[in-house]
């Protein structure tokens, strides 16, 4: 049989059609972004109505208490939330991505997501009082047309150091199948941290029909709380205080005391407050709106389509064997 025979051409067309059905653009998207933050001390806690949303609740009250946060939802394709603080404070932040898709073709669909590197941690210095706690969350829901809202991912993690001189309590829920970083947990007296690297996965949305709409609501949050009394250094004599060079004055050993060669909230070698407790919670997702594979509803091969593809491949193999015998 000639290479360009009608049977071979028709088989090739069938295979190409199946492959196209698998990778063809699946939907049109309408993305809405938002970000919110609160801080007991202050800083930037609101953002413009339209993206980019970039909130920085960074502040210090001058008495040793401070917050450092960053909540963002960029139209270029990244959402995330970081909340941290020192001594006595509260801070939280939420970044939200809502996408309404109109399905272009009938098929099985998934939503792909990537959890950025993150952590929950809490620390207390020896002799400190109070508590430190941090938490993060990632929640994804889906709603087809006017049907029920179905939770697809509901992940929460927290590190809670409640009592000085003890180990913190680490809690994690909704992690089944995530496998973020089983070896990333480290705890001991007065400290605890759980950190993970970037993690990619997908969520099945089932079979969707052409013309249907599906709303993906994706919320990433973080928070941190502390009730620790700040430390205070009355001063460290003459000199600059770097590297323990406290000439003519006492050498303090408290955490973050400039006389121990570390950093004070106030610069120089004079008196000032320093941190005896801190906590960090951070999470994010580089959704990358320009990459269809990362943010779009992606069709996957259905059994019938795979059967057609298999038949096409088998037919090509049969024709090749016939030619070799001719």
C-alpha to C-alpha distance for 250 and 230, rounded to whole angstroms? 19
Tell which phi-psi region holds residue 320, choosing left (phi > 0), alpha (psi between -120 and 50) or beta.
alpha
Nearest to 96 by CA among 68, 74, 120, 70: 74
pLDDT, position 134: 98
pLDDT, position 99: 86
pLDDT, position 115: 85
pLDDT, position 235: 55
pLDDT tens digits in sequence order for the chain, 326 residues long: 444 443 332 322 233 333 333 333 444 568 889 999 999 998 888 888 778 899 999 999 988 999 999 999 987 778 999 999 999 999 999 999 898 888 888 888 888 888 888 899 999 998 899 999 999 999 999 999 999 999 999 999 999 999 999 999 999 998 776 767 766 899 999 999 999 888 888 888 888 899 999 899 999 999 999 999 998 766 544 334 344 443 444 434 343 344 444 444 333 445 577 889 999 999 998 876 554 334 455 544 555 444 544 555 455 454 545 554 44
pLDDT, position 26: 45
pLDDT, position 29: 65
Domain boundaries, the chain: 1-25+306-326, 26-230+275-295, 231-274
Nearest to 41 by CA among 82, 92, 81: 92
Nearest to 273 by CA among 233, 241, 240, 312: 233
pLDDT, position 46: 87
pLDDT, position 166: 94
pLDDT, position 7: 32
pLDDT, position 177: 66
pLDDT, position 30: 83
Q: Given 3-state DSSP classes, what are the helix, strand and coil percentages for the chain, each rounded to the nearest 5?
A: 15, 45, 35
């Amino acid at each position: 049989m000639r290479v360009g025979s009608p049977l071979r051409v028709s088989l090739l067309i069938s295979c190409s059609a199946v492959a196209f059905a698998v990778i063809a653009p699946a939907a049109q998207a309408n993305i809405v972004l938002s970000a919110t933050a609160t801080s007991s001390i202050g800083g930037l806690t609101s953002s413009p109505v339209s993206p980019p949303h970039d909130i920085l609740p960074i502040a210090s009250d001058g008495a040793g208490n401070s917050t450092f946060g960053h909540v963002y939802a960029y139209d270029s394709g990244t959402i995330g939330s970081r909340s941290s603080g020192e001594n006595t404070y509260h801070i939280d932040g939420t970044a939200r991505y809502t996408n309404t898709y109109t399905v272009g073709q009938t098929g099985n669909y998934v939503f792909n997501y990537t959890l950025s590197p993150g952590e929950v941690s809490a620390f207390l210095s020896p002799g400190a009082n109070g508590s430190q706690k941090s938490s993060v969350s990632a929640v994804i829901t889906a709603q087809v047309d006017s049907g029920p809202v179905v939770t697809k991912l509901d992940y929460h993690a927290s590190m809670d150091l409640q009592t000085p001189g003890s180990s913190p309590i680490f809690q994690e829920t909704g992690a089944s199948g995530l496998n973020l970083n089983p070896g990333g947990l480290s705890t001991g007296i007065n400290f605890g941290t759980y950190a993970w690297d970037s993690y990619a996965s997908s969520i099945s949305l089932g079979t969707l029909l052409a013309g249907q709409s599906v709303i993906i609501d994706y919320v990433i949050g973080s928070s941190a709380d502390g009730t620790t009394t700040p430390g205070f250094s009355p001063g460290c004599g003459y000199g600059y205080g770097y590297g323990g060079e406290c000439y003519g004055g006492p050498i303090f050993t408290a955490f973050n005391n400039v006389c121990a060669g570390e950093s004070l909230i106030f610069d120089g070698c004079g008196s000032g407050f320093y941190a005896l407790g801190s906590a960090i919670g951070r999470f994010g997702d580089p959704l990358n709106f320009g990459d269809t594979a990362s943010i779009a509803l992606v069709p996957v091969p259905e059994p019938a389509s795979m059967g057609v593809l298999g038949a096409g491949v088998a037919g090509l193999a049969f024709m090749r064997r016939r030619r070799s015998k001719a």
